[in-house]
Amino acid sequence: MNTHRLTQALAFAGVAGLVYFWLLSPNNSGVVGSVALMIASSIVQYSSDRPFILPLYAWLAGILLVLQILRGEFLAALLGTVLGLGLPYMHYRINQSRFFHR
């Protein structure tokens, strides 16, 4: 699996989590975490050789984190953001280091 497909899978997992935590089993922390995962996985795009940042999604993630500091679901938003940014970046770095070791 390449990194671009991982980011797409995380975005779809955020959508599925949003549907589950909003419609089937209402839970504010789950909704906030799912939205943060969906937004954060879209911040950095790995479709080309070098990753690039989409500023709109970075601003949305920042606004979401600030609003959740004020509202009270900050840990869920932080966890979703860290997972959405960290997992694809870690996958990208592992694949990049394997490429140079061949």
- Is residue 17 within 8 A of residue 37, CB to CB? The reply is yes
Question: For residue range 3-34, what is the model confidence (pLDDT) as tens digits?
Answer: 889 999 999 999 999 999 999 999 999 999 99
Question: For residue range 29-88, what is the model confidence (pLDDT) as tens digits?
Answer: 999 999 999 999 999 988 777 889 999 999 999 999 999 999 888 999 999 999 999 999
- Number of domain units in the chain: 1
Domain span at residue 33 reads 3-101
Question: For residue range 92-102, what is the model confidence (pLDDT) as tens digits?
Answer: 988 887 666 55
Dist. CA 3–CA 70, nearest whole Å: 33
- Is residue 26 within 8 A of residue 10, CB to CB? The reply is no
Dist. CA 27–CA 37, nearest whole Å: 15
Question: 53-66: string of b/e by CB count within 10 Å (b at 16+)?
Answer: eeeebbebbeebbe
Model-wide pTM > 0.85: yes
